[in-house]
Chain A
Amino acid sequence: SAVISQKPSRDICQRGTSLTIQCQVDSQVTMMFWYRQQPGQSLTLIATANQGSEATYESGFVIDKFPISRPNLTFSTLTVSNMSPEDSSIYLCSVEVLGRNTEAFFGQGTRLTVV
């Protein structure tokens, strides 16, 4: 299993500013992911955070808007840049533990409100 600490848990930000969300895992993991969950909807994968290389973004998400860092196997950050009210959402960090019992574990999420 994996325990994930994500912060901040919530924030209210002014439009045009940027927010960096941190994700710390209690063990070394290969696969780390960032998701967005808009109100009443399911999780949408933003990108895969790769250790030692650029993140891999899903369709509709770009590095300029959502820069990601992955300096080591236990830590990653997601920045939401130049925010607008449409970015108001919950952002979740996730790690995958692969093997006999493959499973995804999630951080508690960051509830972002852009005003």
Chain B
Amino acid sequence: GQNIDQPTEMTATEGAIVQINCTYQTSGFNGLFWYQQHAGEAPTFLSYNVLDGLEEKGRFSSFLSRSKGYSYLLLKELQMKDSASYLCAVFNFNKFYFGSGTKLNVKP
């Protein structure tokens, strides 16, 4: 089976840094993805890790530890437009399995 856990909701202040964690227990693993989803819209791709370590893309970074079944998404210099849900997904046997998502509220 596939078990992917994320916090349900987080709140942070504009300009700050926030880390969203994801733990997973899956029957296989071919990569860990992060998607952003604004209310009423389709998910959009943010980052992808297949090897251990940190991947940086502008204000967004993602970290993976395969031995611990753990990933996090780091958002720096938060902006109001970053208020959205963030979905952690494990890519396994050519399928994506999504966590329940973390709703991030950015306050002024």
Chain A residues with CB under 8 Å of chain B are: 31, 33, 35, 41-45, 48, 92, 94, 96, 98, 101-109
Contacts and interface: CB of A to CB of B under 8 A. Distances in A.
Contacts of B42: 92, 106-109
A30 to B, nearest CB: 9
A83 to B, nearest CB: 21
User: Ordered nearest first, which 10 A-B pairs have the shortest CB separation?
Assistant: A106-B42, A42-B101, A43-B98, A42-B100, A42-B98, A103-B45, A108-B42, A104-B96, A106-B43, A109-B42
Interface SS of chain B: strand
A98 B94 contact: yes
Interface SS of chain A: strand
B33 A104 contact: yes
A35 to B, nearest CB: 8
Name the residue among B35, B43, B89 with the largest chain A CB count within 10 angstroms: B43
Contacts of A31: 94
